[in-house]
Amino acid sequence: MQQDQLKKDMKEVEFFTEYGDANRYKILEVVGKGSYGVVCSAIDTHTGGKVAIKKIHDIFEHISDAIRILREVKLLRLLRHPDIVEIKRIMLPPSKREFKDIYVVFELMESDLHQVIKANDDLTREHHQFFLYQMLRAMKYMHTANVYHRDLKPKNILANANCKLKVCDFGLARVAFSDAPTTTFWTDYVATRWYRAPELCGSFFSKYTPAIDIWSIGCIFAEVLTGKPLFPGKSVVHQLDLITDLLGTPPPETIAGVRNDKARKYLMEMRKKSPVPFEQKFPNADPLALRLLQRLLAFDPKDRPTAQEALADPFFKGLAKVEREPSCQPISRLEFEFERRRVTKDDVRELIYREILEYHPQLLKDYMNGTEGTHFLYPSAIDQFRKHFAYLEENHGKSGPVIPPERKHVSLPRSTVHSSTIPPSTQPSFTSYENKHMAEEASKVTRSVESNSGSQLRSSRPPPRVPAGINYIFNVMLA
C-alpha cells in the first residue's frame, strides 16, 4: 500500500514537472548578455550537471527573427548527433497564446575552437587529426539530411579540454530541397567572408552544394595548423585575391561556369597566378594532412570531396571506420513548409509552441489529441524564472566572469565529455528505432576512435588549454 502511494507520488512529481519544469534548474550566474537576451549557467537538479539557459526575449517583435529562431530550434531537434550542440529542453510558457519569451536549456561547454587556437601554439598531429575528424563527421550527418550550415567558422565550433568539438549556431542553416529556388534559398546569405567558399563570393554557380561547408572546414583546419586565418579578406574582391594567391588562377573551364558577369570578367582579366605548394605554405604540417587540405580547398566545388569521402582519407587511417559513422535520413519537406508560404506572427507562435511541446511529451500528446487548453492548469514556473533572470541581469557585471564583447553569437554545450558520446545518465529518450540505433553506433565509434588510436592518442594529445581567466566562453545560438 505504502509502495503504491510512493509510485503515485512519483508520478505526480513527474506530471507537475511537465508543467513547472523551471523548478528543476538552480540558476548560478549570468554568463552572457546581448541584444537577444541573457544566458545563465545553472545546475540541473535532476542530473546534477551544469547547463546553460538562454532567455530569448520578445521573439515575435520581428517576424524574421522569430522565423530564424523557429528554424534553428527545429534543426537542432532533428539533427541529434554527438558532434552537434544539443538542446536539452525548452521550458513551457505560462500561456500558449500570449508568450513572448522562451527559455532554452543547452548542454554546456567551456570554450570554442577560436579560443583554443589562440591559446595553443603547440597542438599536435593527433589534435589536428581528431579535430578535423569530428568536424567532418558532423558534416556527414548534416549533409545526408540535406542541411547546409552556411556559417562555419572557429567561433561556431564549441570545444572543451577533452578535445571534444561540437558544431553550433544554425541560424543561417538551410535545408536543401530539390525544387527549392536557388535565388530564394541564398538571398539572405551573410556568412563570415573569411570562411566563405569562392563560389559564394561572386554567385559563381546556379546550384550550390554541400561543398560550401567543406570549403569552410578546410579554412578552419588551415587555421588550426597555423594559428591564424588563412584568407582574411577585407572585401569580396580581396577575398578572391587571397584565394587565388594560394590556389592559383582557376582554369578557363572553371571560369566559364561562373554565372556572375562581373565575377567572371574579374577572373578572366586577373593576372596569371601559379599555385603555391602547400608544403611551402604549411612547412610544419603532416604531408597527409596537407594532401587532404588541398582537396578540401579545391577552387571548383565539384573537385572537393564529400564529408564521407574526406573521412575515408589516409590521414585518418586507423582512427575509425568511416562506414560506421552515422548518417541521417533526409529531412521531410513538411517540417519546413512554413518557409514556402507567407506566415503571420500567430502562425510562427503556434509553430514555436509546437516545437516546445517536443520537450514535454504528455502535453504534446494532449496537443495532438486536441485536448489541451490555451492556459495550463498548473503554473509553468516561468514567472519565477523571469524574476530571477531579471535580478541577475540587473546585477550582471558586479561580480562573476566577464564575457568578451565579440562573443554575442553562441551555442552552449556541456562542461565534460565522457568516453561514450552521450553519457548513460543523461541519454535522451529517442522517439524512433533509427535515432536510437544512430546513437548506439556513434557511441561505439567514439570508443573505437579512442581505442584504435591507442594510448598514443591519449598520451600524445594533451588537453588544449582554455584561455586563463575565462571560465565560460559561449557560442550562443539564435542570436
Are 319 and 341 found together in one domain? Answer: no
C-alpha dist (Å) from residue 175 to 75, 337, 466: 9, 11, 34
Confidence of residue 386 (pLDDT cuts 50, 70, 90): low
Are 179 and 259 found together in one domain? Answer: yes
Q: What is the pTM of this model?
A: 0.75
Structure confidence at residue 108 (pLDDT)? 86
Residue 467, pLDDT above cutoff 50: no
Binding-site entries for ATP? 55
Phi and psi at residue 457, in whole multiples of 5°?
A: -65, -40
Are 193 and 116 found together in one domain? Answer: yes
d(CA 292, CA 216): 14
Pairing, β 147-148 against β 157-159: unpaired
Structure confidence at residue 237 (pLDDT)? 87
Are 309 and 202 found together in one domain? Answer: yes
Residue 205, pLDDT above cutoff 60: no
**Does some domain include residue 479?**
no
Are 83 and 176 found together in one domain? Answer: no
Are 99 and 25 found together in one domain? Answer: yes
Structure confidence at residue 2 (pLDDT)? 59
Give the ranges where 229-286 is alpha helix by DSSP (H): 236-247, 252-256, 261-269, 278-281
Are 53 and 195 found together in one domain? Answer: no
- Coil vs helix vs strand at 332: coil
Are 192 and 209 found together in one domain? Answer: yes
151 belongs to the catalytic site: yes
Q: Which residues are within 8 A (CB) of 220 and not within 5 positions of it... i.e. 6 or more apart?
A: 113, 135, 152, 153, 154, 157, 195
Residue 270, pLDDT above cutoff 60: yes
The mean per-residue pLDDT over the stretch 175-186 comes to: 61
DSSP state of 340: G
Structure confidence at residue 105 (pLDDT)? 94
Are 267 and 391 found together in one domain? Answer: no
**Does some domain include residue 164?**
no
Q: Which of 21, 83, 112, 151 is catalytic?
A: 151
Give the number of domains in the chain: 2
Lowest mean pLDDT among 100-109, 172-181, 470-479: 470-479
Terminal alpha carbon distance of the chain:
52
Residue 343, pLDDT above cutoff 70: yes
Domain limits for position 146: 112-151+170-324
Last residue of a domain, one of 278, 305, 324: 324
Q: What is the pLDDT of residues 296-307, one digit of tens each?
A: 999 999 999 999
Are 204 and 288 found together in one domain? Answer: yes
Binding-site entries? 55
Q: What is the pLDDT of residues 156-180, one digit of tens each?
A: 999 988 899 999 989 889 998 865 5
**Does some domain include residue 163?**
no
Last residue of a domain, one of 306, 324, 342: 324
Residue 79, pLDDT above cutoff 90: yes
Average pLDDT of the chain to the nearest whole number: 77
Q: CATH number for the domain including 147?
A: 1.10.510.10
Last residue of a domain, one of 271, 297, 324: 324
Q: The C-alpha cell of 332 is what? A: 521531410
Residues 366/377, Cβ–Cβ less than 8 Å: no
Are 362 and 373 found together in one domain? Answer: yes
Q: What is the pLDDT of residues 119-137, one digit of tens each?
A: 988 899 999 999 999 999 9
**Does some domain include residue 259?**
yes
**Does some domain include residue 276?**
yes
Are 89 and 120 found together in one domain? Answer: no
